Amino acid sequence: MKKFYLIIAIVAVGGIAVVGFALRGGGSAASEPVDLGDIANEDLVALAQGMVYGDPDAPVTIMEFGNYQCNACRDFALQIKPQIDLAYIETGQAKFVYYDYPHPGFPHSFLAARAARCAGDQDRYFEYHDAIYSTFNSWSRPESPYGHFNDLAEDVGLDTEAFESCLDSDRHADVVTANLTLGQMLGVPGTPGIFIHREGEGGANRLGGFRFIDIQQAMEAGEAN
């Protein structure tokens, strides 16, 4: 448990740091986790990157480990997160940080995570994030979602040539893999996995649920302490 709190505290404070690694087992158009080799825990934490929404200096961090091909994650993104945004993000009380968790059994989730990060290269991550979830039923089928993801890039106003070049490569495959591995180290049992970390505290709390009332109660409990 002490190790859990140490790692999650490092993530909450410094998770946007990036270090480079030579991919083993990578390749073009990466659609599944890649081999990161023999990587130390500290380097894994540094490589893993959450995507931040809101004021990066907000005193509370609400973290989600999410899977783009997960029905519950879609519901969280489209129904719960807007309530979080209104109550806590837009008021500056908290920031929201999304970590990829494309766990096995969801064949398109890794590619979807990479597609969102390709959109993030053009500063449109959360617009694309919302578009992926909003069109969930159109791409989460057995056939390849490449064409759909490219169409979404045009829909949200991206430079489609740059986006397609990114999606057709292994770009961001190491980061998405690191996020998945970090979530596994932290014992994320399923998605969405929600954590709350408060500035000045040594660790983070993993919530037992992902309803808005679960987050509201955790926020209020922190205010009372």
pLDDT digits (tens, 9 = 90+) for 96-111: 999 999 988 899 999 9
Confidence of residue 195 (pLDDT cuts 50, 70, 90): very high
Q: What is the mean pLDDT of the chain?
A: 87
As a whole-number percent, the residues of the chain with pLDDT over 70 amount to 85
As a whole-number percent, the residues of the chain with pLDDT over 90 amount to 69
Average pLDDT over residues 212-221: 93
Confidence of residue 8 (pLDDT cuts 50, 70, 90): low
Higher pLDDT, 143 or 222: 143
Confidence of residue 28 (pLDDT cuts 50, 70, 90): low
Residue type, 151: D
The string over 152-169, giving b where at least 16 C-beta atoms fall within 10 Å of a residue's C-beta and e elsewhere, is bbeeeebeeeebbebbeb
How many Å separate Cα 225 from the centre of its chain? Answer: 29
Confidence of residue 16 (pLDDT cuts 50, 70, 90): very low
Read off the pLDDT of residues 102-138 as tens digits, 9 standing for 90 and up: 988 899 999 999 999 999 999 999 999 999 999 999 9
Confidence of residue 42 (pLDDT cuts 50, 70, 90): confident
- In sequence order, which residues have a C-beta less than 8 Å from that of residue 30 and are 6 or more positions away? 110, 111, 114, 169, 170, 173
The secondary element (H helix, E strand) that includes residue 163 is helix 160-167
The secondary element (H helix, E strand) that includes residue 65 is strand 60-66
Higher pLDDT, 9 or 35: 35
Distance CA 195, CA 202 (A): 13
Domains by residue range for the chain, with CATH: 2-18+44-224 (3.40.30.10)
pLDDT value, residue 11: 54
